[in-house]
Amino acid sequence: MQVAITIDMEQDCPPYMSTFRGVQGGTPRLLDLFKSEQIPATFFTTGDVARKHPQVVQNIVDGGHELGCHGDTHKRFSQMDHAEAQKEISEASAVLRKFYPVKSFRAPNLDFPSQFRAILRDNGYRVDSSRGRHKQGSLFVKPSREGELSLIPATIAPSAIRMPSLIRNTICRFMRDPVVLFFHPWEFIDVTRDPIPIDCRFQTGEPAVRSLRDTIRFFKARGASFARISDLAV
């Protein structure tokens, strides 16, 4: 089994907040965890994050992790026309590729109309991870290929990994290869008192770090290997 740990680098729990506390405080915790566990990860990053926090992005790359694109402003692509989608992707690509040869993409909110995939191909992308198996109608979606673009779905919502260990481990046992887990840096700071939905704020901060660490070790104990999202290209 292959497992990809992916992080969506964005502002804190959009659209409820617009701060970047998670980028500043949560990302170092994640980098320390991945270094300790000796695994690679993929950080899908908005252009906004790269412009406002370039040292954080450089630290990700220096840590040996893959940098991917998460759009430019974290606006939903389903709310854009073709011209705006093209601008969103090309502007994000330009700033992110100053740090890393970015070839992997994930849309904000896993919301990416299929007609925009041509924009990804035209901009040199090889992987799109903009679907989620946990979303309605997508449970049995498998990795596939569309021309030169590999479509690699995410496995489950991140809040499931913050559940108590018995529930979390039961869920993990039923995950299908490849397992693509995704998280946000704001989950790894304490947002339990912030005005956001309860599924976003429960067990955040240090409990989230411990839950992710235990999940990584759960899969290691079962012989799984850890990969960057681009390593899963079909």
Residue 231 zone, left/alpha/beta (φ > 0; ψ -120 to 50; rest): alpha
| Predicted local distance difference test score (pLDDT) of residue 134 | 81
Cα–Cα distance list, 117 to 99, 143, 178 (Å): 23, 15, 22
Place of tokens 């991870």: 129
Instruction: Show the domains of the chain with their CATH numbers.
Output: 2-232 (3.20.20.370)
Place of tokens 């990584």: 216
Q: Copy the structure tokens of residue 9.
A: 């680098």
Alpha helices in 102-205 (DSSP H): 117-122, 165-173, 198-201
Q: What is the mean pLDDT of the chain?
A: 95
Task: Report d(CA 71, CA 224) in Å as an integer.
Answer: 30
Structural contact between residues 66 and 100, judged by C-beta atoms closer than 8 angstroms: yes
| Predicted local distance difference test score (pLDDT) of residue 135 | 74
| Predicted local distance difference test score (pLDDT) of residue 138 | 66
Tell me the mean pLDDT in the region 199-205: 95
Place of tokens 């989230």: 208
Q: pTM of the full predicted structure?
A: 0.95
- pLDDT above 70 (res 62): yes
- pLDDT above 90 (res 128): yes
pLDDT tens digit string along 149-201? 999 999 999 999 999 999 999 999 999 899 999 999 999 999 999 999 999 99
Tell me the mean pLDDT in the region 68-73: 97
Q: Residue 73: pLDDT band by 50, 70, 90 thresholds?
A: very high
Tell me the mean pLDDT in the region 79-83: 96
Q: Residue 54: pLDDT band by 50, 70, 90 thresholds?
A: very high
Q: 39 versus 137: which is more confidently predicted?
A: 39
pLDDT tens digit string along 134-144? 876 666 788 99
Tell me the mean pLDDT in the region 53-70: 98
Q: Copy the structure tokens of residue 120.
A: 């990804």
Q: Copy the structure tokens of residue 114.
A: 């299929």
Give the end-to-end CA distance of the chain in Å, rounded to a whole number. Answer: 15
Is the alpha carbon torsion for 39, 128, 53, 95 positive or negative?
positive
